[in-house]
Chain A
């Protein structure tokens, strides 16, 4: 019912100019949280990759735990649908390796680099964002050739972990939340 074509929610999602405004508002909130969490800083991100500062893991895992419960509840209530990204070894793993190189060399990611710009990091503004734009442009140029070759190699199932295992979502969500809490507890216990 709530997802019907005439529902207010559906009309809101179809209203492009309102969506752009919502995107801006949600982006401001995202930027506030990224800055508050400290992850817009090169020092914090590189500290994570050098394994002496676990702030990035703390922010990400707590966001994932909280997000997971709410999003799956919304799906259960019929108020949202999952948006599962497809993947393959050629896409996800190869692209992920290149991404990781960029992650360590730049010291920001596409979201946090925007936050870093807001906090005054000139290396993020003139080096990082400029580089990401060039890199994205290179991918757009290479895309037809890559898509015809490497991107389709080793398809990863286009599904979620509960779907793959064949269980109800809660059978994965509950252990996952317990695992995340245990990891975060361990990080705090070790003082990382």
Chain B
């Protein structure tokens, strides 16, 4: 039996104690993207962007959660190097097995998926971390509904992609 997923879960669970204790926040990732998007838009279109109702709610600035997402990149990088798992890859092997080895196709699909993910995460008010771990561990009703919806929808679309579109 492989204990590493449980070890990782144990670590994330204990980490959440510290986010609540020291930062009075739950683990979450998706608002960091909304803030970054606002920062980019502000750089292009100027300060009027800050007047948008959504950016008045989530001010485009670097906060705790933004640094958390940056930290994830660093932590995963260090771990991948130490464990010899770091590899520059364009096309994941499962994707390649079903849809071929075109980097351009994978890039386009990832981009479309990313747009849906960014839209859906902000629409739902949280992601797999904010709702899926932090919300459910607090036993929040909306978060349990959110995470079940994420997975039911994700499973249906994955089966369509790999069961219907890929063979065809």
Interface of A is mostly: helix
Interface size on A, residues (CB 8 A): 128
Say which residue of A28, A30, A104, A123 sits within 8 Å of B78 (CB atoms).
Answer: A28
Kindly state the separation between the CA atoms of A87 and B147 in the bound complex, as whole angstroms: 12
Chain B: number of interface residues, binned into ranges:
35 or more
Q: Give the distance in Å from the alpha carbon of A27 to the alpha carbon of B66 in the complex.
A: 9
Q: How far is the CB of A112 from chain B (nearest CB, A)?
A: 7
The proximity string for B residues 85-99 relative to A, scoring 1 for CB distances below 8 Å and 0 otherwise, is 111111111110000
Q: How far is the CA of A58 from the CA of B156 in the complex (A)?
A: 20
- Give the CA-CA distance A160 to B146 in the complex, in Å: 14
Task: Indicate if A5 sits at the interface (CB-CB under 8 A).
Answer: no
Is B21 a contact partner of A23 (Cβ separation < 8 A)?
no
Chain B residues, CB < 8 A from A59 = 5-6, 8-9, 12
Instruction: Flag whether A179 is at the interface (Cβ < 8 A).
Output: no
Q: Are A100 and B111 in contact (CB under 8 A)?
A: no
If A55-B5, A137-B37, A156-B145 touch, whether A82 touches B15 (CB-CB below 8 Å) is: no
Q: Please state if B114 and A118 are interface contacts (CB–CB under 8 Å).
A: no
Cross-chain contact of B72 among A98, A104, A115 (Cβ < 8 A): A115
Contacts of B93 in A (CB 8 A): 43
Q: Are B158 and A96 in contact (CB under 8 A)?
A: no
Tell whether, in the assembled complex, residue A98 and residue B140 are in contact, meaning their CB atoms are under 8 Å apart. no
Q: Is the CB of A100 within 8 A of B156?
A: yes
**Of the candidates A28, A101, A144, which one forms a contact with B120 in the assembled complex, judged by CB atoms under 8 Å apart?**
A101
Q: Cβ of A114 and Cβ of B76 under 8 Å apart?
A: yes
Contact of B126 among A27, A41, A85, A188 (CB under 8 A): A85
B138: chain A residues at CB < 8 Å are 68, 71, 82-84, 160
CB <8 Å contact, B128 and A64 = no
| Cβ contacts under 8 Å, B23 to chain A | 13, 19, 22-23, 26
Interface contact B140-A85, CB-CB below 8 Å? yes
Residues of A within 8 A of B53 (CB): 143-144, 147
In the assembled complex, 20 residue pairs joining A and B whose CB atoms fall closer than 8 Å, in A order, are: A24-B67, A35-B83, A59-B8, A61-B9, A99-B117, A99-B149, A100-B155, A102-B116, A105-B161, A107-B110, A110-B33, A111-B128, A120-B87, A122-B103, A123-B110, A131-B110, A133-B40, A136-B30, A138-B119, A143-B54
- Residues of chain B whose beta carbon lies under 8 Å from any beta carbon of chain A: 1, 4-27, 29-30, 32-34, 36-38, 40-41, 52-55, 62-80, 83, 85-95, 103, 106-146, 148-162
| Sample of 6 more A-B contacts, CB < 8 Å, known A26-B15, A37-B12, A66-B12 | A20-B63, A31-B72, A92-B145, A95-B120, A109-B128, A131-B111
Q: Which residues of A contact B (CB under 8 A)?
A: 9, 12-13, 16, 19-43, 46-47, 49-51, 55, 58-68, 70-71, 74, 79-88, 91-124, 126-141, 143-144, 146-147, 151, 156-162, 164, 169, 172-173, 176, 184, 188
The 9 closest A-B pairs by CB, nearest first: A131-B114, A27-B71, A100-B153, A135-B118, A31-B75, A66-B13, A127-B110, A87-B142, A37-B8
